[in-house]
Structure formats: structure tokens, C-alpha cells
Structure 1
Amino acid sequence: MHKSHNDDIGFQVQQISHLVKQLQNERLVKEDLSISHMNVMFVLYEEDRVNQSHIQNNLGIKASSLSKLIDILIQKGLVTRESPAGDARSKIICLTDLGKEKQSQLYNVRDELEKQLTEHLSEAETKQLARMLSQVKSNIVKE
């Protein structure tokens, strides 16, 4: 006998992912950003002045998708793209002053959502969930 579709872990993760993206994008409207833009910014908040491939590997997205995201962030004045001397193919992405100023606002948006997601979980359960999700991800992504 097969289990219910609603008991399928992959289905639940997919549904949660979809709902989280919707909630996050709703909250980011006031920042004129999407969750994809915010994820790029978070990589840069952890380590500014990195090459595009570092961001791409960190987020697990295609180079063409990342390039489009960075183009939009450049248009918004949040990042710059530089070519190091002697290597026109390599692109270094840097936060602008405006991008740095957005950091606390973006972390607040993320923290508000985290609070909603874990509202009925204890601190220990929240930590356990984070560990379990990390393990599930590592089962999929072999680094």
C-alpha cells in the first residue's frame, strides 16, 4: 500500500518552498526586490567582493540566471561588477554603499519570516529542524 501524497517528504518540501517564496516575495515588495535578489545580497553580506562563480556555487543556480539577477541589482544601485586587472573574463561582485545600507532591512525581513515559520516550535525543535533539513540537503548535494 502506498502512502498518501501529502505524507511524501519531497512533496511537502516542494510545497513549503513554494509558500516560503511567496511569503518572502510579499515582504520584499517594499524593498523592490525578490527572494532571488535577497539571496545574492546575503552571499555578499557574508563575503563582499567575490567572483560570480562563488555566488553561483553558493546558491546553486545557473550562470545565466545569476547574471540577470546581478544586472538588476546593478540597476538598483546595490552592487557593482568589476573585472580584475588582467582577467576580463572573471567578474568580481561588490556591494555599493546603498547595498550595505539595505543589510539590516533584509535581515529583518528574513527574521520575520523565520519567526513565523517556527512560531509553534521550541528553540530546541527549531535547531533540530535546521539540522535535519541540512542533512536532507546534504543527501542531495554531494560536495
Structure 2
Amino acid sequence: MPVRHLETPDRYLGPRIKFLYHAFNRKFMETARANGVEELTSMHGRILGYLYWSRPKDVYQKDIEEHFNITRSSVAGIVKLMEQKGYILRQSVQGDARLKKLSLTDLGTRACEQSMEAFHHVEGLAIRGLSPEQVETFLSLCDAIQTNLIPQKECAHAKNHSVPSQGV
């Protein structure tokens, strides 16, 4: 398929996707703050969601690295801050002190649930006026674009990146 060089930049996918992401994220953060969730970044929310939806399975820092495709040092810093704020517990595993099991605290569970409420509210705003068929078409197109940009063999967990139930 030929590239559409003659179209104006507002008709390109990349800038439009970035704009939608930022607009969604801004509205989400605004709604989350109104619900009393003040200190979480969007990555903290996604990690809380991942831990929430992974229960009762054990989750380790390495799982976070792989699922979100972020470096060990980034995960260590994020987890340390989330632990300091009281959202998660990080526990050494018997027999391997390097392995850190992560779990939600009561505060983390409440923050996650409040974040999910905000997420669902913004999701509803985003699809307002769209038919179920239009939403399904949009999601199918997103899946196709994702497959084009991140082939499954390159990123084994790429399918997880689009699953909102695994993070907020």
C-alpha cells in the first residue's frame, strides 16, 4: 500500500494516536484525582491493575519487566516508590533473595479500584455515540496496526499491551 505523502499531517495515524492517548490520559488523571487518587502516575496505575488482575497468582518484578516491556532498573525504581507510598509489598522469596514477590496492600487495592472506576468512566466518554459495531471495528483496526508494528514473534506479550483489564 503506498504511503499517502500528499495528505496533510493531521491525517497521519501516528500523531492522531499520540493525541488520543494524551487526551485519554489527561481525562483519566483528571477523573482519578476527582475520585481521590492523587499520587499515582499512569504507569503506577497500570502496575496496580496488573497485580490486581493477576491475583491469586504470584507476581514478581521480572513479570512486570516482561509484561510492560520496561527495564529492570525502571521497574526497581517504580516498585520502590510504590512500596514507600504504601501501595504494594515487596517480599524476598525464600531460597532466592534476588527474587521479589509483589502484592497489593489494602491501600493499593483501593487505589486500583478507584482508578478502574475513573478508567471506565473515561472509556464511556470515549465511546459515547459510537455503535457497538464501530467500537469493534476500531478495536480490530488497532489490533491489525499493532500486529503490523509489533509482530508476535518480536514481542511475545504484545497482545497484552492492548488489554485494558490488565491495567488502568
TM range (shorter): 0.7 to 0.9
Picking from 33, 50, 71, the partner of 2:59 is 50
Aligned residue for 2:128, secondary structure, equals coil
> Does the CA-based 8 Å contact 1:51-1:92 persist in structure 2?
yes
Matched with 1:11 is: 15
After superposition, the CA RMSD in angstroms is 1.8
Sequence identity percentage: 23
Alpha-carbon contact 1:28-1:35 (below 8 Å) kept: no
Q: Identify if the C-alpha distance between structure 1 residues 20 and 64 changes in structure 2 by more than 3 Å, giving closer, same or farther.
A: farther
The answer to whether the 8 Å contact 1:28/1:34 transfers is no
| Displacement after TM superposition at 1:45 (Å) | 1.2
Measured in 2, the distance between the counterparts of 1:28 and 1:35 equals 10
Counterpart CA distance in 2 for 1:78 and 1:3 is 47
CA contact 1:81–1:91 (8 Å) conserved in 2 = yes
Kept in 2, the 8 Å contact 1:82–1:91? The answer is: yes
* Greater RCO (Cα-Cα under 8 Å, separation 6 or more): 2
Q: Which of 117, 121, 142 does residue 130 from structure 2 map onto?
A: 121
Question: Which structure 1 segments of 5+ residues have no match?
Answer: none
1:95 Cα offset (Å) = 1.0
Q: Supply the distance in 2 between the matched residues of 1:57 and 1:15 (Cα, whole angstroms).
A: 26
Contact 1:52 1:92 in 2 (8 A): yes
Any gaps of 5 or more consecutive residues in structure 2? 157-168
User: Of 81, 84, 88, which aligns to 2:97?
Assistant: 88
TM superposition outliers: structure 1 runs of 4+ over 4 Å: none
* Alignment of 1:112 onto 2:121: yes
CA displacement at 1:117 relative to structure 2: 1.0
State the TM-score, normalized to the length of structure 1.
0.88
Q: Distance in 2 between matches of 1:131 and 1:58?
A: 21
The equivalent of 1:132 in structure 2 is 141
Instruction: Report the CA distance between 1:135 and its aligned residue.
Output: 2.6
> Counting helix residues as a fraction of each chain, which structure ranks higher?
1
CA distance in 1, matches of 2:51, 2:90: 12
Aligned residues: 143
Measure, in 1, the Cα distance between the counterparts of 2:14 and 2:141: 14
Tell me how far apart the structure 2 counterparts of residues 127 and 73 of structure 1 sit (CA, whole Å).
Answer: 35
Go from structure 1 to structure 2 and tell me whether the alpha carbon gap of 1:61 and 1:24 turns closer, same or farther (over 3 Å shift). farther
TM-score normalised by length of structure 2:
0.76
